Amino acid sequence: MDGIKVIVNGRPRDCSGTSPHTRLLDWLRAEGLTGAKEGCAEGECGACAVLVARPDGPGRSRWTSVNACLPPALAFDGQEIITAEGLGTVSVPGAAREDLHPVQQEMADRGGSQCGYCTPGFICSMAAEYYRPDRSPAQASAQQETGTGAVGEGHATDHERGPNGFDLHALSGNLCRCTGYRPIRDAAYALGTPSAADPLLERQSRPAPDAKHTRAAHARAEGGARFLRPGTLAEVLQILQENPDAKLVAGATDLGVEVNLRHSRPSLVLAIDRLDDMRTLELDAGQVEIGAALTLSEAERGLGGQVPLLSQLFPQFASRLIRNAATFGGNLSTGSPIGDSAPVFLALDARVVLSSTAGEREVPLSEYYTGYRQSVRKPGEVLRAVRIPLPLADNTAFYKIAKRRFDDISSVSVAIALQTTDGVASVRIGLGGVAATPIRAYATEEALAGQPWTAETVTAAAAVMAGEGTPIDDMRASALYRSAMLRQALLRFHAENAPAEVAT
């Protein structure tokens, strides 16, 4: 696997001989690019953020901020990366080393840096939003006039989008331990639009680099570990059949934590994040298919609000930095009982597509999990896509109960999809955090089905809802609190979706 190169700040750097377990952050710092820092090693603070050129439609790319502390450096073979050190020199032709990028200049002018530890990460996330293709003052003005918007990219409220169109939630994954957020916000809202001569802006008009198909074994003294990027799904399935213990990696938002904090050292890592067969996004008359390797940010942009329940999930799923790398396939495959996407897909009656060398099969997500982090997926199978049947229910909601409003782990999560026609025609409720697996609230659904959608019906069903699952006491919440939140979620949903009173 000779000749592995990563283009960093416009210059190719040799990555050959790097261990499959070496993180991008460690490799960059070993290369002398020490701006990016390690703050948490699990993608929660953003001190390590860098920019990567990612696909953004036919013939275009977009600068995307990602955490460098999670993915392996080898996953960026042939890719283009910009670090905080390179922003000024790469964005201005002929710039001197000390010249500042507009983002850096605003941060300096407005006192956005205190101890400075988090500053490079903030700058990279801010630069990604600075170059966002549809960011403009006109966009912000139109939103303020209509009063539209919710949290997230393209979903910020009037209070969270600046007069320059800057979505403040682009920085939601960056933590300032000195609590210097006001000047950072001021710097973000003071940014203008990129110059037409800015090479980083111009770069977005061309395609992102293709992923290098790293097929040769890469052995190191570290137990002979290997990193492979197969060129096709068929190749992945063949390798997986021969090596059932191989670890699949897309965004590495889960595997990276295992490597960093639990010192996991898989002997074979298979990169699947750029496989076309696993990056589908198809909407037809009968279903929506979302490829397992499509990032949440890509799915959010591609769906454009066409699945409202997912639109409610996106801004509550971790941070923008994580959503730029994390995938639904990874989130569902880990089988965590507090994974945010599973309750939503349960409420949407979704099915997962499992692929192997023997072919494909579909399994309802409600039948997928068999125990704590266990599923019906067989050795050699890959979760290739998630399919949502159409039409969708008219009334939906996702409630995430956590200690922080954003970027936190759920104590309880509830997703509800309801269709009413002279009463409850159909209802599906997905729950997280109240059992060893994500579950459907079947008893509550039965209590509601066919009944009038009234306060009396819902009050009785809410009492049933409080008894769903087997909640436990732990550091995030007590079992009693979890049960109370289940009950309250259904009552809240009715209050938000109660039928209009008929005038007499």
Question: Tell me, what CATH number does 278's domain have?
Answer: 3.30.465.10
> Domain end: 377, 392, 407, which one?
392
* pLDDT given at position 89: 81
Domain presence at residue 177: yes
Q: Strand, helix or coil at 138? A: helix
Domain presence at residue 125: yes
Mark whether 381 and 463 lie in a shared domain. Answer: no
Mark whether 367 and 221 lie in a shared domain. Answer: yes
What's the average model confidence in pLDDT over 386-410? 94
Domain presence at residue 238: yes
Mark whether 347 and 415 lie in a shared domain. Answer: no
* pLDDT given at position 117: 95
Mark whether 278 and 369 lie in a shared domain. Answer: yes
> Domain end: 365, 392, 419, which one?
392
Domain presence at residue 208: no
Domain presence at residue 119: yes
Whether the Cβ atoms of residue 438 and residue 337 lie closer than 8 Å to each other:
yes
> Domain end: 392, 417, 434, which one?
392
Please state, in angstroms and rounded to a whole number, the distance separating the CA atoms of residues 86 and 353.
42
Mark whether 280 and 196 lie in a shared domain. Answer: no
Q: What is the mean pLDDT of the chain?
A: 91
Q: What is the CATH number of the domain that holds 481?
A: 3.30.390.50
Q: Which residues of 184-208 are buried (b: 16+ CB within 10 A; e: fewer)?
A: bbbbbbbbeebeeebebbebbeeeb
* pLDDT given at position 94: 59
* pLDDT given at position 502: 40
* pLDDT given at position 101: 95
User: pLDDT tens, 239-267?
Assistant: 999 999 999 999 999 999 999 999 999 99
* pLDDT given at position 501: 52
Mark whether 376 and 402 lie in a shared domain. Answer: no
- Count of domains forming the chain: 3
User: pLDDT tens, 141-164?
Assistant: 555 554 444 333 444 444 478 999
Residue type, 241: Q
- Nearest C-alpha neighbor of 462 from the set 477, 447, 449, 474: 447
Please state, in angstroms and rounded to a whole number, the distance separating the CA atoms of residues 55 and 52.
10
Mark whether 361 and 408 lie in a shared domain. Answer: no
Domain presence at residue 433: yes
- Nearest C-alpha neighbor of 421 from the set 452, 397, 442: 452
Judged against a pLDDT cut of 80, whether residue 276 lies above it is answered with yes
**Helices (H), ranges, 364-441:** none
**Distance linking the first and last C-alpha atoms of the chain:** 78
Domain presence at residue 133: yes
Mark whether 97 and 65 lie in a shared domain. Answer: yes
Mark whether 413 and 333 lie in a shared domain. Answer: no
* pLDDT given at position 1: 43
DSSP 327-353: BHHHHHHH--TT-SHHHHHHHTT-EEE
User: pLDDT tens, 337-389?
Assistant: 999 999 999 999 999 999 999 999 999 999 999 999 999 999 999 999 999 99
* pLDDT given at position 16: 87
Mark whether 55 and 136 lie in a shared domain. Answer: yes
What's the average model confidence in pLDDT over 175-204? 94
Domain presence at residue 33: yes
Q: Domain of 159?
A: 5-203
Please state, in angstroms and rounded to a whole number, the distance separating the CA atoms of residues 458 and 463.
9
Mark whether 349 and 465 lie in a shared domain. Answer: no
Judged against a pLDDT cut of 90, whether residue 223 lies above it is answered with no
Please state, in angstroms and rounded to a whole number, the distance separating the CA atoms of residues 426 and 448.
8
Please state, in angstroms and rounded to a whole number, the distance separating the CA atoms of residues 105 and 92.
13
pTM: 0.93
